[in-house]
A and B are shown apart, each in its own frame.
Chain A
Amino acid sequence: MRYLFKTDYRQDTTLWRHRGDLYWYGLLIILLLLVPGMMGEFYVGELGGVFIFAIAGVGLMLLAGYTGLISLGNAAFLGIGAYTNSVLLAQGVPFVITLPVSGLFTALFGAAIGLPTLRMSGLYLAIATLAFGSIVGTVFQKWDAVTGGFDGFAVPTPYIFGIPIEGANGIYYLSLGVLIFVLWLSANILRTPLGRALVAIRDSEVSAQSMGIHLARYKTFAFAISAGMTGLAGALFAHYVRFLAPDAFDVLLSVQFVTIVFVGGLGSLHGAVLGAMFVRLLPQAIAIMRDDLPFGIGRMPGLEPSLFGLVLVIVILFEPGGIYGRWMKIKHWFQAYPLKRRTAFRRQKSYARSERLR
């Protein structure tokens, strides 16, 4: 077990807790860079999908996990990012410009939806974002002139300085790069006063406000940054699927994003990545095991959404900390062996706190 000896206040806000972090994450990145050489194209493609969902998951994690604002409309942001990127590319704008532009444009949308929803919290916010998501979904379907309606929209191949980004490997490296950028950005946001303000808003709006935190500004910021990251994920998603169908960005996708956040573990960036792995790889695992499961369970229609529902229910009831919370507990058990205290992770006794009056 490693004991951290702190000699400076700035150690509380460093990006790496200690040199071991740097070493392990560096090793992980090198390993990930080598993956396309070692694995088949199918698995590389799937990992690319995991990275894209992880980007969207990090975006939602900042909003739901760190600011405490739930959004059931993030699929709409993904769609806005995807269509912005594809339409601009089809107009002949280079990819190096369309990628950041789709992120920024979606962030503008996020701020626009963030502003009127500032007065809402908890449940009302969930309903409002749900309504926003389904309005945007209908717009995608009906606005034929831009989205091509139900005929779909073929996404052009992106070029970065003349090099085409094609196939599973291209998407893999591109989304890995964006994921690392997004994680780096989020980790930096979280260690600045900005991030601590967001966490304060999550824990108590009233006390955050009384400490001088401008609620409207920070909540709008949280919405904008979350939407922006989801928009980036959307731009990559467009290249991942290569053919945009307007009904892909529905409520079910939003629920998948929230599942990422909940299953991975609210309030941790690790959780966003772990949750994305879970959400993307579960359907594949089902597909692989389909024929081996007993009683024909694998061939039942509607198995996937029900499994998502079941996992969500089980996680909320039995492990509110998600995968990352469980990992922390296991790690603690080994680190403290044999001195684990049963109360180490016991949460403060919770009581029914009214959210009607804020």
Chain B
Amino acid sequence: MEDAARLLQLIINGAAAGCIYGLIALGFVLIYKATEMVNFAQGDIMMLGGFVAFSLIAHFGLNYWLGALLAIMVIAAFGFALDAVVLRRVIGQPQFAVVMLTLGLGFIFRAYAGITWGYDSVGFETPFTNKTINLGGLVLGQDNVSIIFGTVLLCGVLYVFFSRTRLGIAMQASSQNQLAAYYMGIPVRTVFSLIWAISAGVAAVAGILLSPVSMIDVNMGFLGIKAFAAAVLGGFGSIPGALIGGVVIGIVEQLAGYFLPAGFQEVTSNVVLLATLILRPQGLFAEGMGKRV
């Protein structure tokens, strides 16, 4: 019984960490599906989201919910501007030019955050900090539960947005076929920038949800590398795949940290990533696509 409870707790902690990976991966996937770009700065945008929320809540004394909402909107606007000003210019250049461009942007964001907010870890008071829920002997931190709950809620909202609203369907259409979307009168460029905005907003949500569990600091963006594992495991083009991949990576990592000797936990996500790429490069939930000649 002791062992089973311990295992369950590990799994729930892992799932919570995995939800964060999943949310970052979701950002990758949204952008990749639409523009075939991969945003290596996604983790750093998450970091910026965390810091903006910190400024609003801890510095300006805003209410947690209001501050979080404002931070998400600020970061979403930032994502929109990022696409409209910088990334739109590189469409058509080789893919690794985009990879390097976003990597460079990530370094700039990191330095900016370091200059503005300093290199020490910061945190702010949330309604979930240091509280626990007792579920029939199973003690869970509210912070972890809030991450899982928030992720599920966000996914529901995104699902309804993409399947029910006009704009969401326009986004799906532009992702599937740019030219046809143009012909149907969809402003594809604006739609792409809006997709960047959503993706940045999702990253900000991840940063805010993560803040009660781990402090916000400049190097938080390196979580993005683990999120790659999640996105690749899920098949890089699939939105549910990214989330499931994230949860799988999170749980595997927790279990590896518990059962395997020290040092293995840090490499598990990378090992899973390489194994997926070698054994099943299309991921677990691949979309069936063949080359039309």
Contacts and interface: CB of A to CB of B under 8 A. Distances in A.
B284 interface: no
Contact of B96 (A122, A131, A251, A310): A122
A309 B111 contact: yes
A68 B188 CA distance: 30
B96 A126 contact: yes
B132 interface: no
A202 to B, nearest CB: 9
B277 A316 contact: no
B104 A312 contact: yes
A307 to B, nearest CB: 8
B104 A356 contact: no
A132 B225 CA distance: 12
Residue from A127, A142, A351, A358 having most chain B Cβ neighbours under 10 A: A127
A303 B103 CA distance: 16
Interface in B81-131: 86, 89-97, 99-101, 103-108, 110-112, 114-115, 119
Contacts of B270: 131-132, 134-135
Contacts of A310: 104, 108
Given A123-B38, A135-B267, A306 B107 contact: yes
Contacts of A72: 99
Contact of B92 (A131, A255, A308, A350): A350
B111 A305 contact: yes
B228 interface: yes
Contact of A142 (B178, B263, B273): B263
A356 B289 contact: yes
B92 to A, nearest CB: 4
Interface string B42-83: 000000000000000000000000000000000000000000
Nearest to A117: B277
B278 interface: yes
B108 to A, nearest CB: 4
A350 B110 CA distance: 32
Contacts of B229: 131
A309 B266 CA distance: 26
A94 to B, nearest CB: 34
Interface residues of B, number: 49
B232 interface: yes
A300 B115 contact: yes
Contacts of A306: 107-108, 110-112
Contacts of A357: 289-292
Interface string A235-271: 0000000000000000100010011001000000000
A305 B114 CA distance: 11
B274 interface: yes
B101 A313 contact: yes
Interface in B207-235: 218, 225, 228-229, 232
A246 to B, nearest CB: 12
A338 B274 CA distance: 55
B90 A316 contact: yes
B240 interface: no
Contacts of B96: 64, 70, 122-123, 126
Interface residues of A, number: 51
Contacts of A127: 228, 232, 273, 277
A130 interface: yes
Contacts of A356: 36, 237, 289
B273 A128 contact: yes
A130 B232 CA distance: 13
Nearest to A262: B100
Contacts of B115: 300-302
B271 interface: yes
A316 B291 contact: no
Contact of B95 (A119, A123, A255, A309): A123
A352 B178 contact: yes
Given A309-B103, A351-B92, A356-B289, A302 B114 contact: yes
B257 interface: no
Contact of A316 (B92, B101, B262): B101
Given A130-B225, A131-B270, A302-B115, A354 B100 contact: no
Nearest to A129: B274
Nearest to B118: A301
Contact of A302 (B86, B90, B105, B110): B110
B281 interface: yes
Nearest first, the 5 closest Cβ-Cβ pairs linking A and B are A306-B111, A309-B107, A312-B104, A350-B92, A122-B95
Interface of A: 64, 68, 70, 72, 116-117, 119-120, 122-124, 126-128, 130-132, 134-135, 138, 141-142, 251, 255, 258-259, 262, 300-303, 305-306, 308-313, 316-317, 320, 350-358
16 contacts: A70-B96, A70-B99, A123-B95, A123-B96, A127-B273, A130-B228, A134-B225, A300-B115, A302-B114, A303-B111, A312-B104, A313-B105, A316-B104, A320-B93, A320-B97, A355-B95
Given A302-B218, A316-B90, 16 more contacts: A117-B277, A123-B99, A130-B228, A131-B273, A132-B270, A135-B274, A262-B100, A301-B114, A302-B114, A302-B119, A305-B107, A313-B101, A317-B89, A320-B97, A352-B36, A357-B290
